Structure 1
Amino acid sequence: MSAMTEVSSLTGRLLVAAPALSDPDFDRAVVLLLDHDEEGSLGVVLNRPTPVGVGDVLASWAGLAGEPDVVFQGGPVSLDSALGVAVLPGGGGPSPGSRSRAGDPVGWRRVHGAIGLVDLDTPPELLAPALGALRIFAGYAGWAPGQLEAELTAGAWYVIESEPGDISSPRPENLWRAVLRRQRGELAMIATYPDDPSLN
């Protein structure tokens, strides 16, 4: 039995950077895992808005992007590629083990619950009536097989259940603290961790 069949997939969950995580690409990062299996892991950082407007790079999608309507830096890999992630209102989770459902709109692929990937080659007008919050990401975060598991064992990340509102947070700069604050016990306390511990 492989390790991945013993451990449930983390697809659709959040990786919240521990304060001690020293990689500048992931300092205080909140990562939505879009794929996690024996071939590795892929996700997007939800709290790294850039100054670039969605309309400047994907004008046809600008009207569907939530506030702030900017491109987010999804991670350090393939910064020249764009990923769309959107919530389908009322699009609750499929049955266990299923990644899609009859009635899902063309151009939207369910990742977890109401969260899915948008095919940015689809004409936006086909998806507009169905989609809720949409975020556009430049690049993504990726892990080779076993790499994320090693980082989790080392305590670099907290694994937390995602909520559809995490994707469309109007104040992404506060997302790290907000996600931790809604947890119980020790994790809620970590939300108060100072940006610079030396000043404490």
Structure 2
Amino acid sequence: MSGMTEVSSLTGRLLVAAPALADPNFDRAVVLLLDHDDEGSLGVILNRPTPVVVEDILESWAALAGEPGVVFQGGPVALDSALGVAVIPGDEGPLGWRRVYGAIGLVDLEAPPELLGGALGSLRIFAGYAGWGPGQLEDELQDGAWYVVESEPGDVSSPRPESLWRSVLRRQRNELAMFATYPDDPSMN
């Protein structure tokens, strides 16, 4: 190891918004971190389906998109750009796919879908992403805005994204599981 201090990478982990997180962009968000190092962090919100069907914006990829076959809002940054995230089991991924963590990787949406079609376990299309500058995410973690938990390959393609926040918390083996029962509107308690 060199003398440089290194940020312990959270790439491939989930950020689960704490109930107290005030930013409406991230209310009850479950973010898959695709990149995390000392230059900042980038991820996509897994539980924000939009009414836009994949076929309307990326027709050639529509057949490969998992249920629900809609575009997800990946975050508040660059909403006019699309990111493809796919789960591909095994050691070697096809051309047009770059492994990020475990079986999870990014799809080159410029590549012909036929290159990946046979290998794709599931594909999600995200408009935009969530980004943090150097040290910004660490500050938010220190403030208790996010819980960091392990991701499971099924999280990316959850057919019920609206229940992902609760189900990710519920499977934790510690006090975080209690937050799964947190009311949607605490003032109604």
Please confirm whether the aligned pair reaches a TM-score higher than 0.5, indicating the same fold: yes
Shift of 1:74: 0.1
Q: 2:149 aligns with which of 160, 163, 171?
A: 160
Indicate the residue corresponding to 1:183 in structure 2: 172
Structure 2 spans left out of the alignment, 5+ residues: none
Shift of 1:90: 3.4
Measured on the aligned residues, the alpha-carbon RMSD in Å equals: 0.9
Instruction: Specify the code of the residue in structure 1 equivalent to 2:85.
Output: V
Deviation string for 1:146-198 (max 9, x for gaps)? 00000000000000000000000000000000000000121000000000111
Runs (4+) off by over 6 Å: none
For structure 1, which segment, 15-24 or 81-90, has the greater mean C-alpha deviation from structure 2 after superposition? 81-90
Deviation string for 1:63-101 (max 9, x for gaps)? 00000000000000000000000000335xxxxxxxxxx
TM-score by length of 1: 0.92
Work out the CA distance in 1 between the residues paired with 2:146 and 2:115. Answer: 37
Work out the CA distance in 2 between the residues paired with 1:54 and 1:88. Answer: 20
The share of aligned pairs that are identical, in percent, is 80
Indicate the residue corresponding to 1:47 in structure 2: 47
Indicate the residue corresponding to 1:192 in structure 2: 181
TM-score by length of 2: 0.97
Deviation string for 1:2-61 (max 9, x for gaps)? 44x2x4200000000000001000000000000000110000000000000000000000
Work out the CA distance in 1 between the residues paired with 2:89 and 2:10. Answer: 22
Indicate the residue corresponding to 2:76 in structure 1: 76
Give the secondary structure class of the aligned counterpart of 1:170: coil
Instruction: Specify the code of the residue in structure 1 equivalent to 2:151.
Output: S
Work out the CA distance in 2 between the residues paired with 1:2 and 1:63. Answer: 46
Give the secondary structure class of the aligned counterpart of 2:33: strand
Q: How many residues align?
A: 187
Work out the CA distance in 2 between the residues paired with 1:143 and 1:193. Answer: 27
Instruction: Specify the code of the residue in structure 1 equivalent to 2:185.
Output: D
TM alignment of 1:105-184, pairs within 5 A = 105-184=94-173
Structure 1 spans left out of the alignment, 5+ residues: 92-102
